A and B are shown apart, each in its own frame.
Chain A
Amino acid sequence: MRKVIYHPKYKEYDLGPQHPFSPVRVKMVLELLDSLGIPFNPVQPELISADRLKEIHEPDYVDIVEAVSNGEAAKDIGQYGLGTGDNPVVRGMAEGARWQCAGSLLGAQLLINGQAESVLQMGGGFHHARRGLAAGFCLYNDLALAVKTMTDHGWHVAYLDLDVHHGDGVQEIYYTSDKVMTISLHESGEYIFPGTGWLHELGQGMGRSLKLNLPLEPYTEGDSYLESLRKITEPALAWFRPNALVVQAGADAHFSDPLADIMLTTQNYQKIFSYIFSLVEKYCYNRVLITLGGGYSFFATARIWTLLYLMQQRYEIPAELPGSWLNRWRKIIGTDAGNNFHDREKAYRKIPRKGDIERVNQAMAIRLLDAVAGDWL
């Protein structure tokens, strides 16, 4: 029972033509599937009310977001993280965000009801949204809402964040929870947003040693990324044995992403996804909810999420991209990554610090396991 969730209204979460978090990315995926002749039959969520978001967010924050989204004037929106370059105020953005939250919520419900084992939500992934703060392109935390639906059902939930940025919002909301394990692999916050996600952020109180962060060196490549992922996730999930896994599958750790510096290829992503599916089978009662997330190199992001769809739905990965799709998007975007579905061999220049980077990442994984070992009894 593998389901896909999507609604055309997701497109209404659009922060403007110049904004990187663009609905064009999912549009490219859907058109690529269509050009490949692959069926796309999603389950559609029903819109959720603003009150529903108050389960996760501070009520006054939700009220402000809804008000400004309706064009009402509000004072001090800056203290809610609104009206900035990253989180501009756009008419209708709250409703657009609620449509996407509805999808992630539906995903959780399908798992709980046993109507699905594997759910791919073709939107959402707003991991930076805090309890009372918009941040990093995110308004409402759909992931935290989906997780809460599951923990309300009595489940233990593991959350795995593949986005290149630290999953700070989800971590904040569940920092003291003993029902939720969060694992985030991301580019180290030395300079990129949000600046958190350090190894010593291990959770508080009952949540201690259940919040795991693996900051990776800038210019980390696929082999080192996979090694780090394996070293941490396998023992963590084998110990925690969650009733379900929630995955934020941001595609911005691709080497061509303009916002970050991790060097994954589409081939690496295929290995990562297949590894995660194997973990789900082994340790997570075969239940997984996957959302999208960041990803700002349009051609790369479209291919990575198409790959994710094809793998989740168990279709073959095509060797080449359809000419019609390529031509259309080349005209619109201007750049591309060749005619093949996967990246080229030697797609980027050699990384001079490769050996050092690998050693730093290996040491980091060991330090993280040492830090939690005393609590993982």
Chain B
Amino acid sequence: MLIREVMHPDPITIAPDVSLSKAYSLMNRENIRHLPVLESGKLVGIVTDRDLRLATSKLAEHPFDPQVEIREVMSHPVRTTHSNDPVEMATQIMRELKIGCLPVVDETVLVGIVTNADLLDAMLRLTGVHLPSGRLDIGMPDRPGELARLTKIIADRNINIHSILTYSEAGKRMRMVLRVNTMEIHALAKDICEAGFEILWPPHIICVK
């Protein structure tokens, strides 16, 4: 999954000489939290709703006047991503820097923006139920050929696999979560169990190993 599949293209932007007050109204009107700041077509900074509220807060030691220009409070230089980067890379950068969005810049042109909400949507696409299906949670040794062995059992029953999610459990074993198009999940789980795989879900699958 690449950034260009999840990003918002053509984001709303703002110029550096606009006042904080106007920037804040723009965010409210468009129902957004992040504004890339563009000067002569180039990305020169970014400002969030939180930046604006903190800068102007009465609780601040030296609150900014709502009429000062955005360039006074914007963050820069801006960390960006490329539309062909994988989503996991963007996720990692955002988590490391504890930031909520990344402008997408191809060569020198701003082409989109990706926010943490987009990454949650990506998570839903990876893990969600998009077609009627049952769910299998399987533990398997981390070695070549195991997944092929597993999917053959499913294919032999003429069952379609709608999604496979996999993650490693700290070197112990691989976890596979499959969404499979079958009403007979117990019978399938039993076949898989009998082939030597560990069935973690559904529970209580009894088989002869």
* Nearest CB of A to B84, in Å: 29
Q: Which residues of chain A are near B134, meaning CB under 8 Å?
A: 191-195
Q: Which of B163-209 contact A (CB under 8 A)?
A: 179, 181-187, 201-203
Q: Is the CB of A259 within 8 A of B132?
A: no
* Nearest CB of A to B205, in Å: 10
Interface string of B93-131 (1 = CB under 8 A from A): 000000000000000000000000000000000000101
Q: Which residues of chain B are near A218, meaning CB under 8 Å?
A: 202-203
- Interface size class on chain A is 20 to 34
Q: Is the CB of A195 within 8 A of B157?
A: no
Contact flag A85-B201 (CB < 8 Å), given A20-B183, A195-B132: no
Q: Is the CB of B158 within 8 A of A84?
A: yes
Q: Is the CB of A258 within 8 A of B186?
A: yes
Q: Is the CB of A168 within 8 A of B132?
A: yes
Contact flag A85-B182 (CB < 8 Å), given A189-B129, A190-B201: yes
Q: Is the CB of A84 within 8 A of B132?
A: no
Q: Which residues of chain A are near B159, meaning CB under 8 Å?
A: 84-86
Does B133 lie at the interface of the complex (its beta carbon under 8 Å from any beta carbon of A)? yes
Does A286 lie at the interface of the complex (its beta carbon under 8 Å from any beta carbon of B)? no
Q: Is the CB of A193 within 8 A of B132?
A: yes
Does B82 lie at the interface of the complex (its beta carbon under 8 Å from any beta carbon of A)? no
Does B34 lie at the interface of the complex (its beta carbon under 8 Å from any beta carbon of A)? no
- Of A108-116, A132-140, A317-325, the segment with at least 4 beta carbons within 8 Å of chain B is A132-140
Report the separation of the CA atoms of residues A335 and B203 in the bound assembly, to the nearest whole angstrom.
Answer: 25
Q: Nearest residue in B to A260 (C-beta to C-beta)?
A: B186
Q: Is the CB of A136 within 8 A of B183?
A: yes
Interface string of A174-193 (1 = CB under 8 A from B): 00000000000000011111
Does A131 lie at the interface of the complex (its beta carbon under 8 Å from any beta carbon of B)? no
Q: Is the CB of B129 within 8 A of A195?
A: yes
Q: Is the CB of B185 within 8 A of A194?
A: no
Q: Is the CB of A194 within 8 A of B186?
A: no
Report the separation of the CA atoms of residues A189 and B136 in the bound assembly, to the nearest whole angstrom.
Answer: 11
Q: Is the CB of B132 within 8 A of A194?
A: yes
* Nearest CB of B to A85, in Å: 4
Report the separation of the CA atoms of residues A133 and B160 in the bound assembly, to the nearest whole angstrom.
Answer: 14
Does A303 lie at the interface of the complex (its beta carbon under 8 Å from any beta carbon of B)? no
Does A70 lie at the interface of the complex (its beta carbon under 8 Å from any beta carbon of B)? no
Q: Which residues of chain A are near B202, meaning CB under 8 Å?
A: 190-192, 218, 261
* Nearest CB of B to A261, in Å: 8
* Nearest CB of B to A79, in Å: 10
Q: Is the CB of A135 within 8 A of B185?
A: no
Contact flag A193-B182 (CB < 8 Å), given A85-B158, A133-B131, A136-B132: yes
Contact flag A128-B186 (CB < 8 Å), given A84-B158, A84-B160, A191-B202: no
Q: Is the CB of A193 within 8 A of B183?
A: yes
Contact flag A191-B185 (CB < 8 Å), given A78-B160, A84-B160, A85-B157: yes
Q: Is the CB of B132 within 8 A of A190?
A: no
Interface string of A86-105 (1 = CB under 8 A from B): 10100000000000000000
Q: Is the CB of B136 within 8 A of A191?
A: yes
Report the separation of the CA atoms of residues A261 and B184 in the bound assembly, to the nearest whole angstrom.
Answer: 12
Does A165 lie at the interface of the complex (its beta carbon under 8 Å from any beta carbon of B)? yes
Report the separation of the CA atoms of residues A84 and B158 in the bound assembly, to the nearest whole angstrom.
Answer: 6
Q: Which of A146-193 contact B (CB under 8 A)?
A: 165, 168, 189-193
* Nearest CB of B to A25, in Å: 15
Q: Which of A191-225 contact B (CB under 8 A)?
A: 191-196, 218
Q: Nearest residue in A to B188 (C-beta to C-beta)?
A: A85
Q: Which residues of chain B are near A165, meaning CB under 8 Å?
A: 183
Most A C-beta atoms less than 10 A away, residue of B134, B137, B160, B182? B134
Report the separation of the CA atoms of residues A135 and B179 in the bound assembly, to the nearest whole angstrom.
Answer: 14
Q: Is the CB of B201 within 8 A of A191?
A: yes
Q: Is the CB of B183 within 8 A of A196?
A: no
Report the separation of the CA atoms of residues A270 and B114 in the bound assembly, to the nearest whole angstrom.
Answer: 56
Q: Is the CB of B183 within 8 A of A137?
A: yes
* Nearest CB of A to B188, in Å: 9
Contact of A190 among B135, B157, B184 (CB under 8 A): B135
Q: Is the CB of B129 within 8 A of A194?
A: yes
Q: Which residues of chain B are near A136, meaning CB under 8 Å?
A: 132, 183
Q: Which residues of chain B are near A128, meaning CB under 8 Å?
A: 132
Contact flag A258-B201 (CB < 8 Å), given A135-B132, A195-B133: no
* Nearest CB of B to A58, in Å: 15
Report the separation of the CA atoms of residues A133 and B187 in the bound assembly, to the nearest whole angstrom.
Answer: 24
Q: Is the CB of B129 within 8 A of A191?
A: no
Report the separation of the CA atoms of residues A152 and B12 in the bound assembly, to the nearest whole angstrom.
Answer: 46
Report the separation of the CA atoms of residues A83 and B181 in the bound assembly, to the nearest whole angstrom.
Answer: 11
Q: Which residues of chain B are near A261, meaning CB under 8 Å?
A: 202
Report the separation of the CA atoms of residues A126 and B167 in the bound assembly, to the nearest whole angstrom.
Answer: 36
* Nearest CB of B to A2, in Å: 32
Q: Nearest residue in A to B181 (C-beta to C-beta)?
A: A84
Report the separation of the CA atoms of residues A116 and B157 in the bound assembly, to the nearest whole angstrom.
Answer: 44
Instruction: Return 9 A-B CB contacts under 8 Å, by A number.
Output: A81-B131, A84-B181, A84-B182, A136-B183, A189-B129, A191-B134, A191-B136, A193-B183, A195-B133
Shortest 10 CB-CB contacts between residues of A and residues of B? A194-B132, A195-B129, A85-B158, A191-B202, A135-B132, A193-B134, A191-B135, A193-B183, A85-B159, A136-B183
